[in-house]
Amino acid sequence: MTTVSLDTLKKRLRQTTWLPLGIMAALLLSATSFILYQERQGQLKNTEHALADVVQSQESLISQEVYMGQDQALKIRIDSILSNWNQKYPGGIACLEFLVSPPTGEPRLISGCSSDTIDSKSLRYEETSVKAGNKVLAKIRYSVSRPTRIWDIFPPVLIIVVLVGLFAAVFTHFTLVSRVETRVLAPLIDKIAESERNAAIAQTAQMMAHDIRKPFRLVQLALARLHEVKNTEVRELSAKVSEDFETSARSIDAMIRDILDMGRDVNLSVEPVSVARLVEQLHETLARLYPENRVKFSFNIRQRHRVMADREQLMRVLINIGENAVQAVRLSGDLRISSKQSIRNGHSFIDIAIANNGPEITDEDRSKLFTPFFSRKVAGTGLGLAVAKKIVAEHKGEIVLTSTPTETCFTVSIPEATRDAVASAPDTRPVSESEKSLKTTCEQTILIFDDEAAVRSHWRKYAKEHDFQAAWDFNSWEDFVSQNGFALTPGAIAFIDVHYQGSKYDGIEIARSLRDLGVKRIYAITNDPETANASGLFDSVFGKDIPTNFAQLVG
Interacting residue with another protein among 43, 80, 285, 375 (CB under 8 A): 80
Q: Which residues make Cβ contacts (< 8 Å) with residue 3, sequence separation at least 6?
A: none
Residue 83 to residue 76: CA distance in whole angstroms: 10
Binding status of residue 67 toward another protein by CB under 8 A: yes
Binding status of residue 425 toward another protein by CB under 8 A: no
Q: Which candidate, 488, 482, 480, 474, places its Cα nearest to that of 445?
A: 488
Q: Segment near another protein (CB under 8 A), from 72-80, 184-192, 341-349, 367-375?
A: 72-80
Residue 135 to residue 130: CA distance in whole angstroms: 9
Give backbone dihedrals phi and psi of 365, rounded to 5 degrees, phi first: -65, -40
Please report how close the Cβ of residue 154 comes to another protein at its closest, in angstroms.
34
The strand pair at 93-100 and 108-113 is best described as antiparallel
Q: Are 474 and 445 in contact (CB under 8 A)?
A: no
Binding status of residue 63 toward another protein by CB under 8 A: yes
Considering the complex, state which of residue 137 and residue 546 has its C-beta at the smaller distance from another protein: 137
Helix axes 156-179, 6-57, angle to 10 degrees: 160
Residue 494 to residue 517: CA distance in whole angstroms: 12
Considering the complex, state which of residue 65 and residue 258 has its C-beta at the smaller distance from another protein: 65
Please report how close the Cβ of residue 97 comes to another protein at its closest, in angstroms.
17
Binding status of residue 64 toward another protein by CB under 8 A: yes
Binding status of residue 450 toward another protein by CB under 8 A: no
Considering the complex, state which of residue 53 and residue 211 has its C-beta at the smaller distance from another protein: 53
Please report how close the Cβ of residue 116 comes to another protein at its closest, in angstroms.
20
Binding status of residue 136 toward another protein by CB under 8 A: no
Please report how close the Cβ of residue 64 comes to another protein at its closest, in angstroms.
5
Binding status of residue 70 toward another protein by CB under 8 A: yes
Count the neighbouring beta carbons within 10 Å of the beta carbon of residue 137. 23
Q: Which candidate, 122, 124, 133, 65, places its Cα nearest to that of 98?
A: 65
Binding status of residue 65 toward another protein by CB under 8 A: yes
Q: Could you please report the per-residue DSSP string of 347-416?
A: EEEEEEEEEE-SPPPPHHHHHHTTSTT--SSSS--S-HHHHHHHHHHHTT-EEEEEE-SS-EEEEEEEEB
Binding status of residue 58 toward another protein by CB under 8 A: yes
Considering the complex, state which of residue 72 and residue 195 has its C-beta at the smaller distance from another protein: 72
- What percent of the chain is helix, strand and coil (3-state, nearest 5)? 55, 20, 25
Considering the complex, state which of residue 67 and residue 462 has its C-beta at the smaller distance from another protein: 67
Binding status of residue 76 toward another protein by CB under 8 A: yes
Interacting residue with another protein among 44, 123, 132, 169 (CB under 8 A): 132
Amino acid at 347: H
Considering the complex, state which of residue 79 and residue 334 has its C-beta at the smaller distance from another protein: 79
Contact set with another protein (CB under 8 A): 58, 60-61, 63-65, 67-68, 70, 72-73, 76-77, 80, 132-133
